[in-house]
Amino acid sequence: MSDDENEVDATEIEQQQLNDVSGETVTLTQSSATYIDADRVELTQSAARIIDADAAELTGSVAQMVEAETARLTGSAMLGARTETLAVEQSVLGLTRTTDATIADSAVLMLAGDEIQAANVRAFFLYAGNAEGEVKALLDWRSATIVGVVAGMVLFLLSLLGRSRRA
């Protein structure tokens, strides 16, 4: 085992920068890790590039990609996620795919889910089987279709203009 890889049943890491961390329970406080593989991950004021876990909890933290059965974010940011159950409060999400989500006071770039409960959520694009609560979506599937059709028509017309100038 190298200095950059730690594998233990339960570990608490404070104010360290690590590459790979794995174990049953990994707790990072004011630390960073490139890759975390654990049954349970807890990040507090920390950063992780990739998290692969059964359960992940982020508080005041940042993650690039989270793949977990259950993920809970409070005051955190996540670029991408694939989860079964997602609970988010006062956080920012990038691209997220989940089965069940509960989101409050947060901003979302793209969220796809089967069941979504929301309160005061701003989303650029939201695709849900069933969504309940207050979501301000800037782009839903209908408006995305319209934007796609209009963009296609504009590109088609521009290509016709380009051909007529060459002729």
Burial (Cβ within 10 Å: 0-12, 13-18, ≥19) of residue 156: exposed
pLDDT of residue 10: 59
Q: 30, 48 in Cβ contact below 8 A? A: no
87-98: pLDDT as tens digits: 999 999 999 999
Give residue 167's pLDDT band: very low, low, confident or very high (50, 70, 90): low
What is the pLDDT at residue 8?
46
Contact 39/53 with Cβ under 8 angstroms? Answer: yes
CA distance 58 to 56: 7
Residue 6 in this model has a pLDDT that exceeds 70: no
- Site of tokens 């961390």: 21
Q: Helix or strand or coil: residue 160?
A: helix
pTM (two decimals): 0.75
Predicted confidence at residue 18, as pLDDT, reads 79
- Domain range summary for the chain, segments of one domain joined by +: 5-140
- What number is the average pLDDT over the span 1-28? 70
Distance, in Å, from the CA atom of 135 to the CA atom of 45, rounded to the nearest integer, reads: 28
Residue 157 pLDDT level (bands cut at 50, 70, 90): confident
